[in-house]
Structure 1
Amino acid sequence: MTIVGRSSGKTAGFTLVELLVVIAIIGVLISLLLPAVQQARESARRTHCSNNLKQLGLAAHNFESTYGHLVWGARDGLLTDLTTECCTALTVEGWTWSFHFLPFIEQQHLYDLADYDDPAGTQDIVAQNFVEGFFCPTRRAPTPYGSGSAYRCDYAGNAGERTQGNVRNSSNLGEHGVIRHRNNTKGELTIERIRDGSSNTIMFAEKALHPEAYGTEGGDNERWNNSGWDEDNIRFGSHVDSSDNVTPLPPIADRDAPNPNDSWNFGKASLGYNGTYGEWQPYFGSSHSAGINAVLADGSVRFIPFTIDGTAFQNACLADDKQTFSWD
């Protein structure tokens, strides 16, 4: 005869202590994995940003092949009258390098939106279109700003050294940089005429912007197709004052960039926001944790750390100083 035992009525389960232990283990695992996930995401964003600059480098080379010279940084404004607004779109030809690159980055349809008979009237129409290649995904999501709902650009051309503070000064036309003003004294620039070598000279890089002033500060308050010799389009590797004293301007993190919403004087008042020179933003920089992406004149992309020697970065931004340096 088989005897079947009676159930005690109790079921197996976790005790409160066991549940707390499991929860604690899960919490520890999340705390260990989250930084790795965040790091992987930032690595992907940085790679995306690097690819954007690679495309700008290719566009610059294709532009040169088509027109016989590198793109100008600006084409309007009367240098004999420095009170003239720097950013008016008197002609479509006066729009900045980002617009003139459109046919070379598969954006011909946006290029064709410009009306040569009404340039000022169509500037916002063009700028209301988002161009993925002009945005760094680490910095911000694509965001239109202002009454014109215009997008911005997170990259700037290398204008060399910044003289006399104001970038509209007639003595500061980017002669020693790569992206120059149309009226610079040295004329058109080609890759072959970069005396320091195309692999040693920055062409485009990320521009510094304070997080509290995205879309509003002097270096980010204009549409991506903004015209004029303007800080929305260009940045510098060094500053030269009226006494010819040179101060390197190494790349900085966005959090360290001049902020027009605060009083800013960290021993660099003549280099950033102040009443004398106006709200001009001179620095290259980024929202990445350790440095900036830059495309060199040979088309290669390099990640430049914030810790780079200031003089070395200055040399990398000057196309004709004949100085050797190390990227490390």
Structure 2
Amino acid sequence: MRRNCDGNVQQTSRPGFTLVELLVVIAIIGVLVGLLLPAVQAAREAARRMQCQNQLKQAGLAAHNYQDTLGKLPNGGRDGDHRVPDPLDDCCNSQTRYGWSWSYSILPYIEQDNVYDLSSESDDPLVGSGGNNTKENIVAQTAVPVYNCPSRRISTPYGSGMYRVDYAGNAGTRGPGSVRAAESSGKDGVIIQTDRARIRIEQIRDGSSNTIMFGEKALHRDSFGTEGGDNERWNNAGWDEDIVRFGAGKLADGTVYGIPPITDNRATHQESGAWTTVTDAGGISWGAWHPFFGSSHPGGTNFCLADGSVRLIAETVNGDIFRLLSVSNDGQPFEMP
């Protein structure tokens, strides 16, 4: 309002937004949100990928500390009862704590002593009595969040409340036949089947900075808790794809080839009640049980090398290079991808 020259109050009006102007502003805001949202999502994924890398690094450093204490790197696990001893090609998990997975063995070195101490050798069954360690399920029903990649899933119980692990030890070459056959025992990898052999970091002929120790395992989002490589307890899977994967394959004629990582959406899953298959570079088709490393991250899979360093390796990595990264004793030089 204002007064005119006669002293009377005169009403004035302010121009407002027209409907067209308002719609234009809303459209501009929508465009800005559309431009910013991918950047926000990318930043969140970068943070999740970094957290995943930190978790793998913890596992790698724990393996180093394990060796400092016990004189060797942790083994992967074994099936049956080592005291009898049962054959190493038995299935499908260990009756005693001695044969539990690497993911259980390194717990005291990632500040998870409380979980490690939930069971002891005194809980093992009497020799020849059958059954498993009586505290096996109590441990399996306890979440260890650092074993789950945040880009894939939060710690989630499956089947009778059992948790899973998203990381696998590098077992080197996957031979033809059963995963429990001697040719697939991890002896040319870093994480070796318990009682097959043992290794120290200094004994890795190809060098600890050129050899994978741990990596993410490929797992389709529709297969959580059901796929052959995700259907066992995180602490006691025996010698199984749940806790080890392979970066090289060997055919019956002796041909060795690389098995590069794949994205999670390429991993096997059920469609109309049947499992899909994934064919590797050697022409082998794999179903519910497969050897692939892989991840939910766009562009690559996280790996911890035997020297404790962590890096992202693309699914497009040359197969021969990935084979050399996975095999610990071939003595062949190469350039890191």
Alpha-carbon distance between aligned partners in 1 of 2:123 and 2:60, rounded to the nearest angstrom: 30
Structure 1: give runs of 5+ residues left out of the alignment. 274-278
Residue 204 (structure 1) aligned to one of 200, 214, 224: 214
Q: Contact conserved, 1:70 with 1:190, CA < 8 A, in 2?
A: yes
Alpha-carbon distance between aligned partners in 1 of 2:122 and 2:34, rounded to the nearest angstrom: 59
Instruction: Give the SS at the match of 1:144.
Output: coil
Partner of 1:153: 165
Alpha-carbon distance between aligned partners in 1 of 2:123 and 2:193, rounded to the nearest angstrom: 23
Return the offset for 1:2: 4.7
Q: Contact conserved, 1:181 with 1:229, CA < 8 A, in 2?
A: yes
Residue 4 (structure 1) aligned to one of 2, 8, 15: 8
Partner of 1:36: 39
Alpha-carbon distance between aligned partners in 1 of 2:239 and 2:248, rounded to the nearest angstrom: 17
Return the offset for 1:265: 4.4
Partner of 1:61: 64
Q: Contact conserved, 1:161 with 1:238, CA < 8 A, in 2?
A: yes
Q: Which amino acid aligns with 1:177?
A: G
Residue-by-residue CA offset, 1:272-328 (whole Å, 9 max, x unaligned): 11xxxxx42200000000001111111111111111101100100000011122232
Partner of 1:166: 178
Partner of 1:231: 241
Alpha-carbon distance between aligned partners in 2 of 1:76 and 1:162, rounded to the nearest angstrom: 18
- TM-score normalised over the length of structure 1: 0.91
- Radius of gyration: which is bigger? 2
Partner of 1:86: 92
Structure 1 position 251 matched with structure 2 position 261: yes
Instruction: Give the SS at the match of 1:19.
Output: helix
Partner of 1:191: 201
* Alignment CA distance shift 1:154-1:81 (3 Å): closer
Mean Cα deviation higher: 67-76 or 150-159: 67-76
Alpha-carbon distance between aligned partners in 2 of 1:199 and 1:92, rounded to the nearest angstrom: 31
Partner of 1:131: 144
Alpha-carbon distance between aligned partners in 2 of 1:74 and 1:117, rounded to the nearest angstrom: 19
**Which ranges of 4 or more aligned residues in structure 1 deviate by more than 6 Å?**
none
Instruction: Give the SS at the match of 1:203.
Output: strand
Partner of 1:74: 77
Residue 54 (structure 2) aligned to one of 51, 55, 63: 51
Q: Contact conserved, 1:196 with 1:323, CA < 8 A, in 2?
A: yes
Residue-by-residue CA offset, 1:182-201 (whole Å, 9 max, x unaligned): 232xx320011000000000
Return the offset for 1:133: 1.2
Residue 296 (structure 1) aligned to one of 305, 311, 316: 305
Alpha-carbon distance between aligned partners in 2 of 1:46 and 1:68, rounded to the nearest angstrom: 32
**Identity of paired residues, percent?**
51
Q: Contact conserved, 1:166 with 1:280, CA < 8 A, in 2?
A: no
Which is bigger in relative contact order (C-alpha 8 A, separation at least 6)? 1
Alpha-carbon distance between aligned partners in 1 of 2:321 and 2:167, rounded to the nearest angstrom: 21
* Alignment CA distance shift 1:200-1:121 (3 Å): same
Q: Which amino acid aligns with 1:203?
A: M
Residue-by-residue CA offset, 1:234-284 (whole Å, 9 max, x unaligned): 0001111212122311011001112244453455473411xxxxx422000
Q: Contact conserved, 1:308 with 1:327, CA < 8 A, in 2?
A: no
Mean Cα deviation higher: 122-131 or 30-39: 122-131
Structure 2: give runs of 5+ residues left out of the alignment. 125-132
Q: Which amino acid aligns with 2:92?
A: C
Residue 100 (structure 1) aligned to one of 75, 97, 105: 105
Mean Cα deviation higher: 37-46 or 297-306: 297-306
Q: Which amino acid aligns with 1:14?
A: F
- TM-score normalised over the length of structure 2: 0.89
Return the offset for 1:156: 0.2
Partner of 1:13: 16
Return the offset for 1:227: 3.5
